[in-house]
Amino acid sequence: MMTPQDIAEERRQLRRMRMVSLLEGCTLLLLVFVAVPLKHLAGWPIATRIMGPVHGLAFVLYVWMLIQTVSGGGWSRGETVRMVMAAFIPFGAFLNERALARRQAALAPAV
């Protein structure tokens, strides 16, 4: 049985994971739908030279947060796979964020 402190910490972790998921998803969309077309259609390679590392950093942060979140326990293999796949699919992070929000909301009545 989880203590109220455990529940509060899990809610905080889910909130952090949701924020990082949105950050990673936004940087992926900017890279794929803004920077890459600017590079190839407008001849501005600086767009990907800037946005590539920004997204790379966001991706590494996402993976780090994913490891922290899942290592706390209580995650099925399917949920873990969904969160990993969300990082590679445009708009996947937004679906992932909604699933994390539902999980976070499920903890709310227990506090």
Note the pLDDT of residue 1.
73
Q: Where are the strands (E) in the chain, listed by range?
A: none
Mean pLDDT by 10 residues, the chain (111 residues): 87 95 96 97 97 98 96 92 93 93 83 45
**For the chain, how many structural domains are there in total?**
1
Q: What angle do CA 51, 22, 17 make, to 5 degrees?
A: 120
Note the pLDDT of residue 2.
80
State the pTM of this model: 0.90
User: 50 is in which domain, residue-wise?
Assistant: 4-110
Note the pLDDT of residue 111.
45
Decide if 19 contacts 78 (C-beta within 8 A): no
Residue 74 DSSP class: -
